[in-house]
Amino acid sequence: MVKVIMGVKGTGKTKQLIELVNQAIAEDKGDVVVIEKDQKLTYDIPYKARLIFANQFFFDSFTYLKGFISGLHAGNYDITHVFIDSLYKIVGTEDGVEDFLSWLDDYGKSAGIEFTITISADVALATDGIKKFF
């Protein structure tokens, strides 16, 4: 239920994410949510997806992001996909990413939500806990 797209800047992660958002909107009947740091995807994401700008909510930890995602789902049980662009930039840290991804996987299975996340970092630096979501 969790897919990680990882690579250094300029490797096409966001372009791939946009394609997956369009595919999810076209193929699924549920709601699609896209969380990004700021407003750079405003014109790339179709209006049918709910675009959330993380800088408006002052994310500062993975715990906060877990609560935010749980709240999104509590307010809308029709969500089938959540896309998060530039995870490290949104949260501001890499510490705890493996635990967060594991939690997200468990949460996604229980809630019926697929998560796709981009991480701006060298793939060679990915831990086994991250690689299992490639």
pLDDT band at 57 (very low <50, low <70, confident <90, very high): very high
pTM for the predicted model, two decimal places:
0.96
List the helix and strand counts (H, then E) for the chain: 5, 5
Which tens digit of pLDDT belongs to each residue from 19-49?
999 999 999 899 999 999 999 999 999 999 9
Q: What pLDDT sits at residue 2?
A: 98
Q: Give the separation between CA 6 and CA 29, rounded to whole angstroms.
A: 27
Superfamily (CATH) of domain 2-131: P-loop containing nucleotide triphosphate hydrolases (3.40.50.300)
Q: Give the separation between CA 72 and CA 62, rounded to whole angstroms.
A: 15
**Domain locations in the chain?**
2-131
Q: What pLDDT sits at residue 100?
A: 98
Strands 50-53 and 31-36: parallel
Q: Give the separation between CA 12 and CA 107, rounded to whole angstroms.
A: 27
